[in-house]
Structure 1
């Protein structure tokens, strides 16, 4: 179909192409319209409506120009890709600096881990003498002693309430709740 347009360098109506294509190129007349429409969709053939008729044409210079533009676009994309590749390679090379694997350091690693574990164990031994830990124990002792001294008061308050509410005696309450006689 393109060869017909390139050879004649003329504009055609659909009915003209349907007559020419089967004779000169062996394209069936039933498929001429579909082929022509696909060429128009691909911008290989131009079309224009003049009055009530549609005219179709394609010139070799347009195809050559389209190919040159496409080639230039692909070359530009190729060049951009090469520049990006160089920039990324430089970034990778820059990132590798200082990250080389040092075999000597890898050999020292197990010994360093063992030494660290020994130092942690020794630190745990002396933790009792740490001023912060001692201060924490003192605060805990103060809080605990407060609770120890307030506990009997709470028990006596509950016993007093139970005596008033239920009219029970101290000995029966002590026996029921297993409170020893020397509880004070």
Structure 2
């Protein structure tokens, strides 16, 4: 013959609360420890813990008068408590949903900013590369100014092409700086400092 399965914690809570609502009276713990096993099948050793868990959830009220502690719970109290708990849970769900949307929005802003920062880094890197190339061409032109005129003309042409490219990327950098200043209300000097842009940064002469 199989052993009878004991009550789960939630079943004990349900039965104990049912006992309070059926009796509609006030009890001390010893009375509940006698009624629990007899009327609801709750073992006496667990009655105290079950009652305390109901008190913790505001489903059972308690008060100490003299040397005795009394417990009670009426159906109307339980209904109101459950309705309030449901209302609180629904509000928490709304708050969590709102917070989730806010975090999602902030995450998208961060991702957008990361893309913009990457574009800015690429623009500055390309600009520095073009400036280095232009400076190299100028140095070569200076070294060869007394040499073959045809080669000198070619170098001058290369310098002009490089200069135009540098000017285009300089435009890009100024546009990025302008956008950052408008969006983040940041001073020009602070922007230069953060992005390692020289204070005398300008179009090449």
Instruction: Give TM-score scaled by structure 2 length.
Output: 0.45
Larger Rg: 1
Instruction: Give TM-score scaled by structure 1 length.
Output: 0.49
